[in-house]
Structure 1
Amino acid sequence: MVGAGRVPRGTQNAQQFLENLVIMDKLPGAENEVNITPINHFVARHRKVVMKVVHLALHFLRTENGRDGLQNVLQRLITDWNRFGMVHIFPHSEDHTDANTRLQWVNLFLEQLENNHPEIRISPNDDMGGADAETTRLPWLNAGETIHAFNPRGSCRVSLNSMSIRSALGAADAAVNPGTSGEQRNKALTNWAHHIFIMSIALAHEYVHIFVGMFTGALDHEPP
Structure 2
Amino acid sequence: MNRGKVRNHALYFLGVLTYVVALLPFFSVNLVKALVLIPIIAYTLPIMEYLQPKIMSLKIGYKDILLMIPPIIPYVFLPYNEIRIVYVLIPLMLMLLTFTLYLTKYTMWGNVIGTAFEASISIVWGLFINNPLFLIPSIYWLFYIFTGALYVEYKIPYRKLDKRVVQISWVVSLVLLIVLSLNNPITLITLIEPSTRYLIPGEKLKSPKEIRELGKRGSKKDILFVVLLTITYTLSRIFLTI
Asked if these proteins are the same fold (TM beyond 0.5), I'd say: no
More helix by share: 2
TM-score, length of structure 2 as denominator length: 0.28
More strand by share: 1
